[in-house]
Amino acid sequence: MTDDKDVLRDVWFGRIPTCFTLYQDEITEREAEPYYLLLPRVSYLTLVTDKVKKHFQKVMRQEDISEIWFEYEGTPLKWHYPIGLLFDLLASSSALPWNITVHFKSFPEKDLLHCPSKDVIEAHFMSCVKEADALKHKSQVINEMQKKDHKQLWMGLQNDRFDQFWAINRKLMEYPAEENGFRYIPFRIYQTTTERPFIQKLFRPVSTDGQLHTLGDLLKEVCPSAVAPEEMWFTWVMPKSDVLMIYLSYC
């Protein structure tokens, strides 16, 4: 995995230049200037937008403020999806910066999960990590870790600390020497064209006759109706099956 360190760093440090504008119907005491920010692809909106919130709340009265939520061209943004995923799904074909509208009223209950505190984001993130390990190692690695290791994983993400994060995550990326990979590969395929939020199925890294599966094999198996794999566009395209696992296993 050491020769993939560059790839891991590129994935971790990916950024999206974003312009936050207050929704025009929000009540302000004076004009609200847009706020610019470089968003980390691997993080979550509600985790990295404290400055955005403070900036707009400065021109609003307390009584006009309730739970913050974000929207892009009329679509409420699911904070529980990684930022990079949201951008790639909804805005990748538009010019930068990514223009996001900020709301403080009329929270869309039917579309978005509530995010009352950072604890909720942590619980969601850890829940994803645990589910991925259930697939990779039958939860053995994550369950053997101490609470402080779980905390370090979360703090690494929250504070943008690559080394701190990967000190723990590398254990979740290991598999026994005699095996050819994880038990199942944790993956989710998101498409804007379906009602279903994502496709997730059991998929082994190795076929019954010992061949390593590739990304193309995965797509053929779980998403056959999609455009031919060669024509699909991925954020991080990796043809090798072992690198495939690293990307897909990141959750």
Partner 1 sequence: MEEDEFFGEKTFQHYCAEFIKHSQKIGDGWEWRASKDCSDGYMCKTHFQVKNGTAVSHQGTSDHVQTFLPVEEALDAPLDDFEVTETTAAAEVIKYEYHVLYSCSYQVPVLYFRASFLDGRPLALKDIWEGVHECYKTRLLQGPWDTITQQEHPILGHPFFVLHPCKTSEFMTPVLKNSQKINRNVNYITSWLSIVGPAVGLNLPLSYATAASHDEGNVSGQDSSTERKSLEEH
Q: Which residues bind partner 1 (CB under 8 A)?
A: 78, 80, 109-114, 119-120, 123-124, 127, 130-131, 134-135, 139, 186, 194-198, 200-204
Shortest CB 139 distance to partner 1, Å: 7
Shortest CB 56 distance to partner 1, Å: 24
Shortest CB 109 distance to partner 1, Å: 5
Burial 165-183 (b: 16+ CB within 10 A, else e): bbebbebbbeeeeeebbbb
Spatial CA neighbour of 97 closest among 16, 13, 14 = 16
Q: Which is nearer to partner 1, 159 or 225 (CB)?
A: 225
Shortest CB 69 distance to partner 1, Å: 12
Q: Which is nearer to partner 1, 59 or 134 (CB)?
A: 134
Q: Which is nearer to partner 1, 30 or 110 (CB)?
A: 110
Spatial CA neighbour of 216 closest among 12, 208, 203 = 203
Instruction: Count how many Cα atoms sit within 13 Å of the Cα of residue 96 in the half-sphere of its side chain.
Output: 10
First vs last Cα of the chain: how many Å apart? 17
Shortest CB 224 distance to partner 1, Å: 11
Distance CA 93, CA 64 (A): 34
Q: Which is nearer to partner 1, 119 or 209 (CB)?
A: 119
Q: Which is nearer to partner 1, 57 or 139 (CB)?
A: 139
- Which tokens hold the place of 112? 């978005």
* Strands of the sheet with 69-72, listed across from one edge: 35-40, 15-22, 98-103, 69-72, 75-76
Shortest CB 190 distance to partner 1, Å: 11
- Which tokens hold the place of 144? 């053997």
Q: Which is nearer to partner 1, 24 or 208 (CB)?
A: 208
